[in-house]
Each structure stands twice: as structure tokens, then as C-alpha cells.
Chains A and B, each alone.
Chain A
């Protein structure tokens, strides 16, 4: 009796365990990636795609009746001088901040890539800006750039330059904002470059030296091409980040009047304009703001690709 039970049940128990085991092997990978994809889907992907839909309606927070308007928002956007102004400002500030930032980071990484005492201390101090919150950066620098009592105007006063009303001017406000961005990100990028430089095999430098290349030419012909993937990465990251600039210009404004970015919108970025239309001017035009968001999304993709191709060309030129 007992023997028959054992012989009869053992294979079935085994197969059950086996089945469970197989199910575990087949299904659990999905269980493990599910939280990421589920939450990302709900709070990341879906909103992004739904933005495209909302942009084709006249949705307004204050107005319950939502109507399909087709591409009206986009055609209005094409003729909206404030939008193009914001696009221009965003690119202007991006150029003024990203190019010096990445060049300085390259130089800094090069200098750091030597035998140094107090190395950790140096690395930590150049990373302090990255730890500092955007809000803190914006508020501290806004005070430093104050027209009447700011430290910068005092400093340039020492060399005989008159006070500059940084916030009021077009170009000067861009410079002030670029200084904030550059300050926060140069050290971070330098560390990325440094990490890449440290993994360049020494043989390449030896070979270059044999060819009679000086230190500068080695930097150009060995270092730069070798860390190119990292350069591409930083360019893309700063493109995506730069085109979404918001906190610094938003808090730079002396008086919050709906995120206009100065009295003449001289430093209103695209995301600020989005914020103004959606939340900051009593308009609450969700449809129109979504069109702005979706346009910025497309601009970001196109511009990232352009940058990618551009940086790739740098390599092939050498």
C-alpha cells in the first residue's frame, strides 16, 4: 500500500516541482523587470505619449469641455513669437554654457590625470557644485549678480567697469545663467572625462611618442579620440538637460509674474514658457502647453542626433 503510494506519487510530486521550477525559470524574469516597466509606464511613458494626444485638443484646466482641435495648437505655435523667442533663448544659453563647460571639463580632467597629492580633496571640491541643489545655485548666484549689491558688480568695479544690470539685459542675463550652469556641471563632466582618460592604454601614448608627437598633439590625437564615447555621452546629456533649463532662469526673475523670464522675456526658456502656459499665468492652457512640450521633445531628439553626428565627425576628421 505504502509502496504503491510512494511509487505513484513520487513522479507526480517531482513533476509538480519540476513544473514549478520551469514556471519559475520562465516567468520570474518578467516578474523582476515588471516593477520597473509598470511604474515607468504609468508615470513616464504614458504621460509622454498622452502629451501628444492632449496637444491635439483645447484642454484647459478651468474648462471642462475638451474639444479636438487637430493641429491648431501647432500652427498657432509656429506663429507664436514668444515660443520662438523662448527657443532662441534656450539655444543661446545652451551654447554659452555647454561649450565652455565641456572644454573646461576636458582641460580640468587632463590636469587631474596626473600624480597629485590631496587628490581626493580636489575631486571632492570640484564635485561640490553637483551636490548643491539647483535652487541653491540659482538663489546664491542671483544674489551674486544683483545689480546694486552683488559681488560680481563689485569685482568688475574694481577693474573700472561700470555696474551691469545682468538680469535686465538680453545677453548679460544669458551670461549670468550660463555661469550658473557651467559652475554646477563642469566638475561633474571633468570627473567623467577623467574616468575615461584613466582607462586609455599606455601603449597608445608610447606609440605616439615614438612618432614624435608632443604632449599637446598626444592630447588631440590620442586622448580625445579615445574618450570620444564619453564626450558623446556628455554632449547628449547636456543637450537634453540644457534644452530643459528651468530652475535657474525661473528663480533668477526678481518678481514672480508667471515665469515670463524678465520683462521682455529676455531669458524665458521653452520649459518656462510651457510652465507659464500650463500653470503660471492664470491661463492653464493644457492643450497648448502640451504642444510646446511635444515640440520641445522633437527638437531635443533632432538636436541630440545632430550633436551626435557632429561629435562623430570630430573623430573621423582625425
Chain B
């Protein structure tokens, strides 16, 4: 049970310990999960994972096997061949390698920048006293609920003026700030950085920048990691805006995959789902390594919200 608290929420230690005791007690009192529960959960887990498994199945067969009826349910031996075709610009209508690199650049930049801007603003809202603090923070919270995607047309016009169309800046710049990120970091810093520590640093003659750099940043690393991961996922998976501002000559991986899928000249489900599978693979690997932290981050955000 203990590790749940580590990942779930940095509640004050005492509170979480009592909650833990309650929960343990509660769980025992309620149900030791029976075989039925496990069966149900196994089924749900299966449904959750199946579509990705299916993309692997299709990606590992030749295209003609895809049209087989009844469908083939086990992977075949064509995966390497299909991946080879995917990266061969003589076969595919996009440069898949370039697309993967573009996405790596975009997602990494966005993640690092969003964490920085969020940590800065979060720090100010959590630990600094200034006029308008509450009002501005309220503005951030409201912003979280605003569907800014609806500003797509003026944003597009802006990109024309900046000469950023078909360039990666166009998908990076609008995403380097995150209202959720500011909110998330602020909530974390409130608890993770004791006021006494900030005050002590001030007495020692630290200015605000030094406090941020030497006191706050080291303390928020766990939250920064989670936020960075979530932002990376989001940036990697983004589709609507890249579709609008990029073209298939300089795509992100999502635009590239959808472009392969929408050229029907030679309908090749095996190739389309190979591209799909390869586009998800980096995230799956990240998720397998850091899934515990991602889950923790999501649940943590929930408790705060």
C-alpha cells in the first residue's frame, strides 16, 4: 500500500498515513477481491490492450492477409518487412523517419519549455506575495476550461504573418505554456517547498532567482518529471493543429500516419497499421518504464482538482 502514497499524492504525511490505515481496513472489510472480480478486470485489461495488439497483428502480416475472412488473430512474420517498407520513401508517400524526428523535436521542446514556464509561474503563485496573485491564478484556472483550439483561424493567420507555416515552430510555440501545468506546479510547490525554507534563504541574502534555482527547482523535480511526461505525451499525440499548419512534406508522425492512411491509391492496411504501431511504440516504451509515475501524476492531479 505504501508505494501508492508515493505516487498518488503528496498529501501531508500524517494524513496520508491515516488514510492508508483506513483504506487497508476498509478494503479488508469490504471484499478480498474474488475470482469473479479478477476475471472481470482481466477482461477489461484485455479490451484495453487488444486494439494495440491488433495493430501489431495486422502490421506483421502481408496486406493480402488483412483481407482474409475470417480474420487472422495471431501475429505473422512480416513485421520487419513492413517496417522496412515504412521507412522506404520509394514505397510510402511520406518520409517516415523525418516525421519521427520532427515529433521527437516538437514533443521534447514542448515538454521542457512547458515545465519551465509552469514551474516559474507555479512558484510565483505559491510562494511570492504580489498584487493580483489571486485574480491571476483564478484566470489560470478558468483558462484550463477554455477550449483555445477554437482560435484556430486567427492563430493560422498569425502563423502566416510570422512565416511559420510548415515549420515546426508553428506547432511548438502555442504549446510551450500549459494552464494545467501552472496549476499543477503551484499545488505541488505549496506543499513541497516549506515557507520556512524560502524565508531562510531570503535571510541568507538569496534573491528570488537564486531561491527559484537552488531551492524550488530541486524540490519540484518529481512533479516536473510527471508534468514533462504528460506534456510530452500530449505533444506527441497532437493532430488537429499540426494537420492545419504542416504539410506532408514536413509532417509530425501523426500527420504522416494519417497521410499514409488517406492515400487510397494502393490501400495497404498492413502498412498503415505498421505506421500506427511504430508511432505508438515510443510512447508505449515510455509508459512501460514510467507508467507508475504517469498514473501517479494523473491521480495526483485528480486529488488536487
Do chains A and B directly touch (beta carbons under 8 Å) in the complex? yes
Minimum distance in angstroms from B157 CB to a CB of chain A: 8
B71 close to A (CB within 8 Å): yes
- Contacts of A190-205 to chain B: CB distance below 8 A: 191-192, 194-196, 198-199, 201-202, 205
Q: List 26 A-B contacts (CB under 8 A).
A: A21-B207, A25-B208, A44-B174, A54-B154, A115-B28, A115-B31, A116-B33, A124-B287, A131-B280, A131-B284, A133-B236, A133-B283, A134-B237, A135-B237, A139-B258, A139-B273, A140-B55, A143-B58, A143-B269, A148-B69, A154-B71, A194-B299, A244-B149, A251-B262, A289-B153, A300-B147
Residues from chain A with a CB closer than 8 A to the CB of B11 are 199
Contact between B150 and A247, CB atoms less than 8 A apart: no
| Other A-B pairs beyond A46-B151, A47-B153, A196-B303, 16, CB < 8 Å | A36-B120, A36-B179, A43-B173, A43-B174, A48-B148, A134-B254, A137-B51, A144-B54, A191-B302, A195-B9, A202-B26, A240-B147, A246-B239, A247-B240, A278-B153, A297-B150
* Complex contact B30–A215 (CB within 8 A): yes
Contact of B145 among A229, A240, A244 (CB under 8 A): A240
Q: Which residues of B contact A300 (CB under 8 A)?
A: 147
List the 9 shortest-distance A-B pairs measured between CB atoms, nearest first: A47-B151, A202-B22, A195-B299, A29-B130, A32-B124, A43-B174, A133-B237, A47-B154, A50-B154
Q: Are B264 and A255 in contact (CB under 8 A)?
A: yes
A222 to chain B, nearest CB (A): 11
Main secondary structure of the interface of A (DSSP, over half): helix
A233–B237 touching, CB < 8 Å: no
Asked if A177 is an interface residue, CB under 8 A from chain B, the answer is no
Q: What is the interface size of chain B, counting residues whose CB is below 8 A from a CB of the partner?
A: 107
Question: Nearest A residue to B118 by beta-carbon distance?
Answer: A36
Number of A-B contacts (CB under 8 A): 301
The reply to whether B71 and A151 contact each other, CB–CB distance below 8 Å, is: yes
Which residues, 265 to 285 on A, are CB-close (under 8 Å) to B? 271, 274-275, 278-279
Q: Is the CB of B299 within 8 A of A192?
A: yes
B209: which A residues are within 8 A, CB to CB?
Answer: 28
How does the 8 Å CB contact mask read for A230-257 relative to B, with 1 for contact and 0 for none? 1001001000100110110001001110
* Contacting residue for B23 out of A111, A198, A289, CB 8 A: A198
Contact with A along B254-273 (1 / 0, CB 8 A): 10011001101000010011
Q: Known: A36-B117, A296-B150. Contact between A108 and B302, CB under 8 A?
A: no
Among A36, A111, A148: residue with most chain B CB under 10 A: A36
A195-B302 contact in complex given A29-B124, A36-B177, A134-B237, C-beta closer than 8 Å: yes
B residues within 8 Å of A by Cβ? 4, 8-9, 11, 19, 22-28, 30-33, 37, 40-41, 44-45, 47-49, 51-52, 54-55, 58, 66-71, 116-118, 120-121, 123-125, 128-130, 133, 136, 140, 143, 145-158, 173-174, 176-177, 179, 182, 207-209, 212, 233, 236-237, 239-240, 244, 254, 257-258, 261-262, 264, 269, 272-273, 276-277, 279-280, 283-284, 287-288, 291-292, 294-295, 298-300, 302-303, 305
Chain A contact-residue range equals 35 or more
B295, A35: Cβ atoms closer than 8 Å: no
Q: Tell whether, in the assembled complex, residue A47 and residue B121 are in contact, meaning their CB atoms are under 8 Å apart.
A: no
CB distance from A164 to the nearest CB of B (A): 15
Minimum CB–CB distance for B104 against chain A, Å: 14
Question: A286 to chain B: which residues have CB within 8 Å?
Answer: 153, 157
Contact check, B305 vs A233: say whether CB atoms are below 8 A apart: yes
Expressed in whole angstroms, the Cα–Cα distance for A131 and B11 within the complex equals: 26
CB proximity to B under 8 Å, residues A128-167: 128-129, 131-137, 139-141, 143-144, 148-149, 151, 154
Beyond A28-B209, A54-B153, A140-B276, whether A33 also contacts B124 by CB under 8 A is yes
Are A51 and B51 closer than 8 Å at their CB atoms?
no
* With contact pairs A131-B233, A143-B273, A251-B258 given, residues A32 and B128 touching in the complex (Cβ less than 8 Å): yes
Q: Residues of A with Cβ closer than 8 Å to B?
A: 20-21, 24-26, 28-30, 32-33, 35-37, 39-40, 42-51, 54, 108, 111-116, 120-129, 131-137, 139-141, 143-144, 148-149, 151, 154, 183, 187-188, 191-192, 194-196, 198-199, 201-202, 205, 215, 229-230, 233, 236, 240, 243-244, 246-247, 251, 254-256, 271, 274-275, 278-279, 286, 289-290, 293-294, 296-297, 300, 304
**A39 touching B48, Cβ below 8 Å:** no
Closest Cβ of chain B to A211, distance in Å, is: 16
Give the shortest distance, in Å, between A71 (CB) and chain B (any CB): 18
